[in-house]
Amino acid sequence: MINFLLRRLFLLGTVLFGLSLLAFSLGYLFPGDPLQNFSGIRQLEPQLRAELTAAYRLDHSYLSQYLAFLNRLWHGDWGLSLASQQPLLSEIRQVLPATIELTSYALLVSFLFGVPLGILAAIKPEGYLGKIINTITVAGYSLPVFWWALLLIMVFSVGLGWFPSGGRLGVLYEIPTVSGFMLVDIFLAETPYQQVILLDALRHLALPTVVLATFPTTVMIRFVRDAMLEVWEQNYIKTAKAKGLSRLQVLYRHGLRNALLPVIRQIGLQFSALITLAMLTEVIFSWPGIGRWLLDSIYQRNFPAIQAGLMIISVLVITVNMLTEILHTFFNPLARKR
Partner 1 sequence: MIKYCLSAAMLALGLAGCSAEQQDLRADGLVYCAEGAPEHFNPQRVTSGTTIDIISQQLYDRLLDIDAASGELRPALAKGWQSSADGLVYEFDLRHDVQWHQTDYFQPSRVLNAEDVVFTFNRIMDPEHPFHFIGGGIYPYFQSVDWASLVKQVSAPEPYRVRFELSRPDSSFLSNLATDFAAILSAEYAAQLLAANTPQLLDSQPIGSGPFIFREYQKDVLVRFYEHPHYWRGPAAMQQLVFDIVPNNARRMAKLLTHECDVIAYPRLAELALVSERPDVKVQESTSMNVGFWAFNTQRPPFNQVKVRQALALAINQRAILQAVYFNQATAARSVLPPTSWAFNQQLATPEYNPQAAKALLAEAGLASGFNMTIWAMPVQRLYNPNALKMAELIQADLAQIGVNATIVSYEWNTFRRKLTEGEHDSVLIGWAADNADPDNFFRPLLSCAALESGSNRAQWCDPVFDRILNQALLTDDQLQRRSFYLAAQQYLQTEMPLVALAHSQRIQAINSQIEGVTINPYGGIALFSARRVQP
Partner 2 sequence: MRKFRLYFEEQHRSPLAQLWREFARQHSALFGLALFSSFLLLSLVAPFITPHDPYLQADNLLLLPPSWSEQGLVQYPFGTDDLGRDLLSRLLKGTTFTFGLALVTVIGALLAGLALGALAGMSQGMKSSFFNHLLDLILTIPSLLLAIIIVAVLGPGLANTAWAVSLALLPQFVHGIRNAINEQLKKDYVTAYRLDGANNWQVLTRLIIPNIWEKIIVMSSMALSTAILDIAALGFLSLGAQAPIPEWGAMISDSLDLIYLAPASVAIPGLLIFAAVLSVNLVGDGLKTAMQRRRES
Residues that bind partner 1 (CB under 8 A): 83-84, 116, 153, 157-158, 161-167, 170-174, 193, 195-196, 199-200, 202-203, 206, 286, 288, 296, 299-301
**Residue 80: Cβ-neighbour burial (10 angstroms; 0-12, 13-18, 19+):** buried
Pattern of binders to partner 2 over 294-323, x per CB under 8 A? Answer: xx--xx---x--x---x--xx--xx--x--
How many CB atoms sit inside 10 A of residue 167's CB? 13
Residue 266 beta carbon to partner 1: minimum distance, rounded to whole angstroms: 22
Which region among 90-98, 100-108, 144-152, 194-202 touches partner 2 (by CB under 8 A)? 144-152
Q: Which residue's CB is nearer to partner 1, number 76 or number 116?
A: 116
Answer with the entry of partner 2, partner 1, none that 127 interacts with (C-beta below 5 to 8 A by kind). Answer: none
Choose the one of partner 2, partner 1, none that binds residue 138, judging by a C-beta under 5 to 8 angstroms depending on kind. Answer: partner 2
Alpha-carbon span 103 to 83, nearest angstrom? 27
- The one of partner 1, partner 2, none whose footprint includes residue 173, by CB under 5 to 8 A per kind, is partner 1
Taking Cα atoms as reference points, which of 88, 21, 89, 98 lies closest to residue 286? 98
* Cα–Cα distance, 188 to 191 (Å, whole number): 9
Q: Which of 125, 104, 113, 102 has its CA nearest to residue 220?
A: 113
The total of other beta-carbon atoms located within 10 Å of residue 5's CB is: 13
Instruction: Select the binding partner of residue 146 from partner 1, partner 2, none (C-beta < 5 to 8 A, by kind).
Output: partner 2
61: phi then psi, degrees, rounded to nearest 5: -70, 165
Vertex 297 angle, CA 294 and 300, to 5°:
155
**Chain positions contacting partner 2, by CB under 8 A:** 11, 14-15, 18-19, 26, 29-31, 135, 138-139, 141-147, 150-151, 154, 272-273, 275-276, 279-280, 283, 294-295, 298-299, 303, 306, 310, 313-314, 317-318, 321
